[in-house]
């Protein structure tokens, strides 16, 4: 059964199949937790009629021994993924290496009367050598072969790879069908406690992320952070009473990012939202300041991927946020130096 937010993407794939225009290389993109792997499984099940075997593939699970590629329960299908143990170093590799891609291409070059399928996930984790090694197979594929690349962001792939693939994108979803699906997959208690539409807004339209956050209490933390962030924008002195932020800097910044984005929407539309505190903030703040702090938040989130002092970085953003409603001039935020 097609997931509600996959229908547009799967419809495009069905049209390719019906018109006999399915390419030899397909690139499926979408942000993390959008279900790219599940869409790929549905496509392959449609092509092979082997849904039961393909659904049994547990390729996301880590294994305790080195592996270049993995076999599907369906005999003519292979997978290549990051996170495998490197036979030379015995360490877990965070990228897809050239030796993996070579093994992947060699396996697909074998003669077969049936359709052979190779899946790479996630393709944007290939290092440069691996990506270059894949090009020849993408350019000169064996007949009756389908290569499927799954990627979070096509921008992180070389243009030479992207140009050789037909792209299908899974877009974030906020529609009623997606909300209904979520209602079917959360508990009665969660239905009573949470607004499904708001949950989707907070996760930028990613249904699987909603389920993940509800299952491990992330959303409870999120609500706590949201309440504190709104509170300090109204009562700046409470910035010294914050808790639960240490070690959660990325989550707090993402929460603040969502608050600011929602504030910008309300400001532009000249309407009120469901959060009384945010309505109060929006009525007092300049639009320019919201856009400026949003830029600073984006930059701060990108810095968290480096060795920067995360708590100092967050504190510098929060100082500006706590004064956002009565700034005369937007200040230059000082970013901490990276640690080496």
Burial (CB < 10 A; 0-12, 13-18, 19+), residue 52, is exposed
Task: Give me the mean pLDDT over the 48-55 stretch.
Answer: 94
* pLDDT attached to residue 340: 44
Q: What is the pLDDT of residues 56-112, one digit of tens each?
A: 999 989 999 999 999 999 999 999 999 999 988 889 988 999 999 999 999 998 877
* pLDDT attached to residue 275: 83
Rounded Cα distance, 275 and 45, in Å = 44
Task: Give me the mean pLDDT over the 146-157 stretch.
Answer: 95
Residue 326 has pLDDT above 60, yes or no: yes
Q: What is the mean pLDDT of the chain?
A: 91
Task: Give me the mean pLDDT over the 135-163 stretch.
Answer: 93
Rounded Cα distance, 81 and 239, in Å = 44
User: In terms of C-beta distances under 8 Å and separation of at least 24 residues, what long-range contacts does 90-98 make, across chains too?
Assistant: 90/66, 92/62, 94/125, 95/125, 95/126, 95/127, 95/130, 96/120, 96/123, 96/125, 96/126, 96/127, 96/130, 97/127, 97/129, 97/130, 98/127, 98/129, 98/130, 98/133
Nearest to 126 by CA among 137, 117, 116: 137
Rounded Cα distance, 35 and 188, in Å = 24
Choice among 10-14, 25-29, 39-43, 235-239 with the minimum mean pLDDT: 235-239
Rounded Cα distance, 44 and 122, in Å = 17
Coil, helix or strand at residue 75: coil
Residue 277 has pLDDT above 70, yes or no: yes
Task: Give me the mean pLDDT over the 117-122 stretch.
Answer: 96
Q: Look up the pTM and report it.
A: 0.73
Residue 217 has pLDDT above 80, yes or no: no
SS3 content of the chain, % helix, strand, coil (to 5): 55, 10, 35
Sheet of 25-29, strand order: 70-71, 77-81, 116-121, 145-151, 25-29, 166-169
């Amino acid at each position: 059964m097609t997931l509600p937010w996959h229908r547009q993407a799967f419809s495009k794939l069905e049209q390719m199949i019906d018109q006999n225009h399915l390419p030899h290389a397909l690139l499926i993109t979408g942000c993390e937790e959008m279900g790219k792997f599940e869409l790929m499984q549905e496509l392959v099940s449609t092509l092979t009629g082997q849904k039961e075997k393909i659904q049994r593939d547990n390729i996301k699970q880590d294994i305790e021994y080195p592996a270049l590629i993995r076999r599907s329960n369906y005999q003519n299908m292979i997978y290549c993924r990051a996170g495998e143990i490197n036979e030379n170093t015995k360490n877990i590799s965070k990228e897809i290496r050239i030796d993996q891609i070579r093994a992947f291409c060699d396996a697909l070059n074998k003669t077969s009367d049936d359709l052979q399928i190779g899946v790479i996930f996630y393709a944007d984790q290939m290092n440069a050598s691996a990506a270059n090694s894949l090009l020849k197979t993408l350019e000169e594929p064996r007949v009756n072969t389908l290569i499927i690349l799954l990627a979070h962001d096509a921008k992180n792939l070389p243009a030479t790879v992207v140009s050789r693939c037909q792209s299908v994108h899974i877009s974030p979803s906020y529609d009623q069908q997606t909300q209904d699906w979520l209602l079917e997959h959360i508990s009665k208690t969660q239905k009573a406690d949470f607004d499904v539409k708001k949950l989707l807004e907070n996760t930028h339209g990613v249904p699987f992320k909603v389920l993940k956050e509800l299952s491990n209490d992330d959303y409870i933390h999120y609500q706590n952070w949201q309440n504190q962030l709104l509170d300090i924008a109204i009562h700046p002195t409470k910035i010294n009473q914050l808790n639960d932020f240490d070690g959660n800097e990325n989550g707090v910044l993402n929460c603040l990012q969502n608050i600011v984005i929602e504030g910008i929407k309300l400001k532009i539309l000249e309407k009120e939202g469901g959060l009384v505190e945010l309505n109060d903030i929006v009525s007092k703040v300049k639009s320019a300041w919201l856009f400026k702090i949003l830029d600073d938040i984006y930059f701060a989130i990108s810095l968290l991927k480096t060795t920067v002092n995360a708590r100092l970085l967050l504190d510098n953003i929060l100082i500006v946020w706590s004064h956002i409603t009565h700034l005369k001039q937007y200040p230059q935020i000082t970013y901490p130096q990276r640690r080496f």
